[in-house]
Amino acid sequence: MSSTSTLQSTSPTPEAPDDGYRWVALSNTTAAVFMSALDGSIVIISLPAIFRGIGLDPLASENIGYLLWMIMGYRLVQAVAVTTLGRLGDMFGRVRIYNAGFAVFTVASILLSFDPFHASAAATWLIAWRVLQALGGSMLTGNSAAILTDAFPADRRGFALGLNQVAALAGQLSGLVLGGLLAAWDWRAVFWVNVPVGVFFTLWAYLKLRDSGERHPGRIDWWGNATFAIGLSAVLVAITIGLQPHGGHTMGWTAPTTVALLVSGVVLLVAFFVIEKRVAEPMIELGLFKIRAFAAGNGAALCASLAQGGLQFILIIWLQGIWLPLHGYDYADTPLWAGIFMLPLTLGFFVSGPLTGAMSDRFGARGFSTVGMVLFGSSFVGLLFLPITFSYWAFALLIALNGVGTGMFAAPNTSSIMSSVPARYRGVASGMRATFQNSGTALSIGVFFSLMVVGLSANLPEAMSAGLQQQGVSPGVATDVANLPPVSSLFSAMLGVNPIDHLLAGTGTLDALTATQRDHLTGHSFFPDLLSGPFHDGLVVVFAASIALSICAAVASALRGKPPQRSVASSRE
């Protein structure tokens, strides 16, 4: 049967689950997306402690790749795998795939915490098991929205999916605080925290969840799966490699490997769409894009995730590398405080997400999602005009507005997407929605980092050379240090590390300086002062791009059309 004719058919509606089961499904899936999102961010804050624990310097040029893959590997897998896993959920049972995801995620967490190696071998171990952990997380997120859509009637889905979306962002931002607390105790605790939670919810899911949606066994689209997974992976790997220095350049975008991966990735993705049009049972139902609400909602979600995906990293760099040190915080304490100072973003989302999700059940998604994107974009306008050494309350209000806008958009938009598709396609629709969101986030991180490196490359070397010479560093050493790849300075800011000690190590320069000069170079203010001007230049470009993408998301959201009028029978679907 062709995808077009299938989409036009009307499938029998399964019996609606009882109210008690709905809350079991909501609580379990909410815990799942919270835990999966938590692990996407908890490692970011914990990276300094993790690399110290395994005996590897993350700022050494030969180790930057390990640092990048610790950040990007998890997101790459989540971007690539969720659609396939959502499709498998439609074929073999959404709950079955979801339950297996909890078990995989928990096993990977145990293996991560028992890293037996040291230095580069230990980093490779962590990256490999993070990939497995991300696969388990993808099995959870790729099917959780479909399970909720099956469990809740149409007039309550917005509330349920809204709460689920709040849990996802709350997990991302809670990871920033929890990672700082746990890493201060033991870096392995960052992974231990998942184990008891994972064991409990794995058992609970196996005992309590059941497939209440339609199941449609069929053949796996091997060619589609292969071209999609390899093509998207090639593009995201190319972006990751492109962020690393190459051949005397600050980044590796001109490296033959990067170019070859980008070209081959794009070719494979084009081949994927050709294949999907021709196979009887495609991995992605392209016919779903004929549904206006589905196409507009996913377009808006992609633009929103592109605008916001790298925001978390930029704000962390801003706080940890510049604002907190200039306000007297020790570098060792900045990861924890950065997470605490970003809590208004979580609170804004937490307030608006469930509220607008529930209200969209009654009034429709278009108005809430569109206004949410307008508020979201307005927050970037405000951040664009903040001075680098801002008043915290102005910053707090703006990131709270960003959270409110995101919450107003995310929950109604997800509900609109999931409610627009026939019941038999909810698994693949959930996976496609997550793919757009995760791919946008991964691409956003790469693009935001690239724009920031370009901004730093233009002005930071000159500023650093002049600043070092003013403190007694010889012109030759100052020039050599200033011309080192600026990506190291960017990552040092993200990790909450003062890189001056690292950059001057082995030159004998610090020993030749006075105590006052040494204290100033390695203190709270020298590096943040140097970084602030070039960093602001990069911020202007990054936030301008986010504003443009927010406008695109608002326009796409407005084009979704009015929701169809529901009868009493359809509201019980």
The whole-number pLDDT of residue 567 equals 38
pLDDT tens digits for range 552-561: 999 999 998 6
* pLDDT computed for residue 215 by the predictor: 61
Q: What is the C-alpha separation between 47 and 444, in angstroms, rounded? A: 20
Residue 445 has pLDDT above 70, yes or no: yes
Q: Write the secondary structure of 499-539 as one string of H (helix), E (strand) and C (coil).
A: CHHHHHCCCCHHHHCCHHHHHHHCCCCHHHHHHHHHHHHHH
Which pLDDT score, from 0 to 100, does residue 570 have?
39
pTM: 0.80
pLDDT at site 298 = 92
Residues 317-352 have pLDDT tens digits of: 888 888 998 898 887 778 778 878 888 988 888 788
Contact between 119 and 50 under an 8 Å Cβ cutoff? The reply is no
How many angstroms separate the CA atoms of 37 and 47, rounded?
Answer: 17
CA quadruple 471, 506, 241, 138: dihedral sign: negative
Q: What is the pLDDT of residue 369?
A: 92
Average pLDDT over residues 212-230: 75
Write a three-state SS string for 20-66. HHHHHHHHHHHHHHHHHHHHHHHHHHHHHHHHHHHCCCCCCHHHHHH
Separation of alpha carbons 341 and 324, rounded Å: 10
Checking if the pLDDT of 113 tops 70, the result is yes
CA 160 distance to own-chain centroid: 22
Per-residue pLDDT tens digits for 459-499: 788 888 888 888 888 888 888 888 777 777 777 777 767 77
Share the mean pLDDT of the chain.
Answer: 82
* 5 vs 459, more confident: 459
Collapsed DSSP state (helix, strand, coil) of residue 215: coil
User: How far is CA 396 from its chain centroid?
Assistant: 21
Top mean pLDDT of 34-48, 241-255, 366-380 is at 366-380
pLDDT above 90: residue 383: yes
What pLDDT sits at residue 133?
Answer: 92
Top mean pLDDT of 6-20, 91-105, 506-520 is at: 91-105
Q: What is the pLDDT of residue 424?
A: 76
Q: What is the DSSP string of 94-128?
A: HHHHHHHHHHHHHHHHHHHHT----HHHHHHHHHH
Q: What is the pLDDT of residues 163-186, one digit of tens each?
A: 777 787 778 767 777 887 787 788
- pLDDT tens profile 530-544: 888 888 888 888 889
